[in-house]
Chains A and B, each alone.
Chain A
Amino acid sequence: MKKFLGIILSVLMILSTAAGCAGKNDASSEADPKAGADGAKKTYKIALVTKMVDSTYWQTVKKNAEKKAEELGNVEVTHLGPPTEADIDKQVQIVETCISDKYDGIILAACDKDALVEPVKKAKEAGIPVVMIDSGISEEAYDAFLATNNVEAGANCAKLMSELIGGSGEVAIVNFAAGTQTAVDREKGFTDEIKKNHPNIKIVGVQYCDSDPTKAANQATDFISANPKIKGIWGANDQAAVGVAQAVSEKGLLDKISVVGFDNSSDIKAGLESDAIKGTAVQMPSVMGSKGVELIMDLVSGKKVENKNVDTGVTMVTSKNYKEPSVNAILNQ
């Protein structure tokens, strides 16, 4: 009996919470037409759907999207995303829910270049503008694509690595995921640059750390054990770089092995300060966030987007130049 009562109570609790949320939605959707009738500004709802929500990178996108929304005054940004980058199905579901929730625009970083094509097409059919950021899809179904050219950025990392190790020697790669387009592009950019322009550098291996710094540290340690003459290790995102730097400093080899990273976080900054990370390619997520909102609002108001594909670029920040004001501003965007 007691148990039964408990079940009923918990069901009631869940229902009331759900009702509470639903109530809020009703209120806002009712308020909208009224506001429109009064001639006041309509509030535009934009969904920001990222590959996951829990990284400094996506939080920067969100922060700048929200800042832009605040500037514009009549825009509301909701940040959504699956628990991990590998949860492709969940991201598809999120986009589908956004369509049925009648968002005014979707800013999307695709977990998978093929799986997200259909949802984007569906959104377009429903008249919702879609601006892709960071990771695109295999068909040009979207309105605009703001991204770092990751092949280019990977090549930049290779150039910096070559500079650091004097143009010859063994290097290894700790990539953050296998089969994710961003990761594939970065790796391709790095390896192609090395093969083409730095014939005396040999890439001794590639490992994938699933954005887990502890795994990255273990893999870097194994690279060092297997290749005692190794001169550089590249970590292809922030977690990978932080893990690699940790392994190299644990081994006391910071003066022998150069660590180059990718992306930016407070841990990366600490690494640059202590010289454990010699350099990192900093993307411009701030641009993706603010420009994304701007483009959606342009599209909503019927303006045409001129450049469909925009490279937001990277800045190579090194342990030597990070204090320069212009570079520091990018590091703290």
Chain B
Amino acid sequence: MDNGTISVKKEKVKHNSSLSEVIQKFLAFGVLILLSLLFGVLSKGKFLAIDNILTVILQITPYAILGFGLTFVLITGGTDLSAGSVVGFGGIICAKCLTMGYGLFLSILIGILAGAVTGLINGLVITKLNVTPFIATLGTLYAFRGLTQLVGAGKPVSVQSLDDKALVSQFKFIGGGTLFGEIPFPAVIMLILAVIMGVILAKTGFGRRLYAIGSNEEAARLSGINVFKTKLLAYVLCGATSAMAGILLAARLASAQSNAGTGYELEGIAAAVIGGTSVMGGEGSILGTVIGAAVMGVLRNGLNLVRVDAFVQMVIIGGIIILGVWYDTLRRSKQNGL
């Protein structure tokens, strides 16, 4: 009987949130389409050229991948400000391994693992030492950036200048190569990751536990969810995806910059929030984050194409982020009122 009531409750909650999510996604998606059409007209069609659309997809790839991990963490009601530093860390570890002759596959694996370890540290500081996520990851933002600088000895780690030119071109392909002469390879990785992360979030018990913790952590704990393990895993995933974004950045240039990813955590958070993830936890989706990242990317590229001044662009993008969050707050208060 107990089981019965719980499952009924779940259904109800799920139904509500999925309905509002559809509206939210529809809105973000609508904004995306509107912006695309607007820029298409203003740029006299340049924006809508296939070549440019593919460019936009390549441009948003690192932010979107970063956003996936952040979406997981944000849904638990946490945050990860260190994600940008982990972008640098994962990239430089991978590049360092390449220069040490570890081979492509192993180097990438070590880079991603390094990211996962940073996530583990974040998770442990937050769950075991009970430091609030904002402060904990603010601290690790500095710590991981420092580690990145240490690994690179303050300089970029250049893969480009390695003697093994075949390795260099393979590495560059991962970050900037194209399939069928048109489709950017990193974008393919991003889409595959989106599907995997989306399924984990929407279809697995782990995913549902993330929402439960974000909606009401105490209730989740009382209903028998292992909050510690679930949160820890969310941060580990966030670290791993941040490192992946970093490896792609390093691969595109065949060089890992020790300042790579500075400020990217905010891009990732912005993408998630515009896509309907709530910074208060309990809501969000991977599809939304992809759309959010696309909105940011379309804005930047479109404003460049119609030659809007660089400083005016910053004001516009800032305004859009505020509008996104304002809409989210409005929707929530309405929901609570009902």
Contacting residues, chain A, for B252 (C-beta < 8 A): 214, 217, 246
> What is the CA–CA distance of A212 and B156 in the complex, to the nearest angstrom?
12
The count of chain A contact residues (Cβ–Cβ below 8 Å) is: 40
**Least Cβ distance of B252 to chain A in Å?**
7
The count of chain B contact residues (Cβ–Cβ below 8 Å) is: 42
Judging by beta carbons under 8 Å apart, are B155 and A56 in contact? yes
- For the complex, is B311 an interface residue (Cβ under 8 Å from A)? yes
**Least Cβ distance of A273 to chain B in Å?**
9
Contacting residues, chain A, for B129 (C-beta < 8 A): 3, 6
- For the complex, is B104 an interface residue (Cβ under 8 Å from A)? no
> What is the CA–CA distance of A59 and B154 in the complex, to the nearest angstrom?
7
Judging by beta carbons under 8 Å apart, are A267 and B158 in contact? yes
- For the complex, is B218 an interface residue (Cβ under 8 Å from A)? no
The stretch from A28-36, A132-140, A203-211 touching chain B is A203-211
Nearest B residue to A243 via CB reads B253
**Least Cβ distance of A175 to chain B in Å?**
9
**Least Cβ distance of A211 to chain B in Å?**
7
**Least Cβ distance of B308 to chain A in Å?**
10
Contacting residues, chain A, for B305 (C-beta < 8 A): 222, 225-226
> What is the CA–CA distance of A267 and B257 in the complex, to the nearest angstrom?
10
Judging by beta carbons under 8 Å apart, are B59 and A267 in contact? no
Q: Give the contacting residue for A54; candidates B155, B158, B301, B307; CB below 8 A.
A: B155
> What is the CA–CA distance of A50 and B212 in the complex, to the nearest angstrom?
48
Task: Given A213-B257, A225-B46, verify A218-B59 contact (CB < 8 Å).
Answer: yes
- A187-228 interface bits toward B, Cβ cutoff 8 Å, 1 = contact, 0 = none: 000000000000000001111101111100111011101100
Nearest B residue to A6 via CB reads B129
Contacting residues, chain B, for A6 (C-beta < 8 A): 129
Contacting residues, chain A, for B260 (C-beta < 8 A): 212-214
What is the total of A-B residue contacts with beta carbons within 8 Å? Answer: 108
- For the complex, is A17 an interface residue (Cβ under 8 Å from B)? no
Q: Give the contacting residue for B253; candidates A56, A207, A218, A242; CB below 8 A.
A: A242
- For the complex, is B277 an interface residue (Cβ under 8 Å from A)? no
> What is the CA–CA distance of A269 and B160 in the complex, to the nearest angstrom?
10
- For the complex, is B242 an interface residue (Cβ under 8 Å from A)? no
**Least Cβ distance of A250 to chain B in Å?**
5
- A52-73 interface bits toward B, Cβ cutoff 8 Å, 1 = contact, 0 = none: 1111101100000000000000
Interface residues of B in 225-257 (CB under 8 A from A): 249, 252-255, 257
> What is the CA–CA distance of A52 and B255 in the complex, to the nearest angstrom?
19
- B251-277 interface bits toward A, Cβ cutoff 8 Å, 1 = contact, 0 = none: 011110111101100000000000000
> What is the CA–CA distance of A252 and B269 in the complex, to the nearest angstrom?
34
> What is the CA–CA distance of A218 and B311 in the complex, to the nearest angstrom?
16
**Least Cβ distance of A79 to chain B in Å?**
9
Judging by beta carbons under 8 Å apart, are B160 and A270 in contact? yes
Interface residues of B in 126-181 (CB under 8 A from A): 128-130, 142, 145, 149, 152-156, 158, 160-161, 176
Q: Which residue of B49, B130, B176 has the most chain A CB atoms within 10 A of its CB atom? A: B176
What are 16 A-B pairs at a CB distance below 8 A?
Answer: A3-B128, A54-B155, A55-B156, A84-B262, A205-B304, A207-B304, A208-B310, A212-B257, A212-B262, A213-B255, A213-B257, A226-B43, A246-B253, A250-B176, A267-B158, A270-B160
